[in-house]
Structure 1
Amino acid sequence: MFSDPLFILVVIAVLVVLAILLKGISTFGKGGADSAKQSNKYMRWRIYAQGIAVVIILIFVFFRRTGG
C-alpha cells in the first residue's frame, strides 16, 4: 500500500491539512488583531486544503473499488 502513488498523495494531503490546522490554532493563542486576521487566513486555507484532500480521498476510494 505504501508503494501506491495515490495512497502517498492521500497521506501528503492529510498531513498538509494537519499542518495548516496546527498553524492556525497556534496563531489563535497569540492574541491581538493581527493574530486574529492571520488565524482566519490559515483557517480559510485549511478549508480549501481539506476540500482538496476529500476529493483526493474520494478518487482513491473510487479507483480501489473499481480495481484500477
Structure 2
Amino acid sequence: MPAAANALVALSIGAVVVVLFAGFANMIRGGSPNLSQKLMRWRVGLQFVAILVIIAVLWLRG
C-alpha cells in the first residue's frame, strides 16, 4: 500500500505540474487566451484532486 500511495501522490502532483507548465508555455508564446483559461481551470481542479489524494493517504497511514 505505501508504494502505491506514494505513486498516486506523485502522479497527482505530476499532473498539476504538467498542466501548470503547459499554461506557462502557452502564455510565453502568446497563445490563445481561451486555452490559458481552460488550462487554469484544469490546474485548479487537479490541485483539488491532489490535495484530496494527499489527505487520504495521510489519513490512511494514521
TM-score higher than 0.5? yes
TM-score (norm 1): 0.82
* Larger helix percent: 2
Unaligned residue ranges in structure 2 (runs of 5+): none
1:49 and 2:46 are equivalent in the alignment: yes
Alignment of 1:7-18 (within 5 A): 7-18=6-17
RMSD of equivalent CA atoms: 1.3
User: For 1:37 and 1:28, how far apart are their aligned partners in 2?
Assistant: 11
Larger radius of gyration: 1
Which ranges of 4 or more aligned residues in structure 1 deviate by more than 6 Å? none
Q: Identity of paired residues, percent? A: 30
1:38 and 2:35 are equivalent in the alignment: yes
* Residue equivalent to 1:27: 26
User: For 2:43 and 2:8, how far apart are their aligned partners in 1?
Assistant: 17
1:6 and 2:5 are equivalent in the alignment: yes
Aligned pairs, how many? 61
TM-score (norm 2): 0.89
User: For 2:3 and 2:30, how far apart are their aligned partners in 1?
Assistant: 43
1:62 and 2:59 are equivalent in the alignment: yes
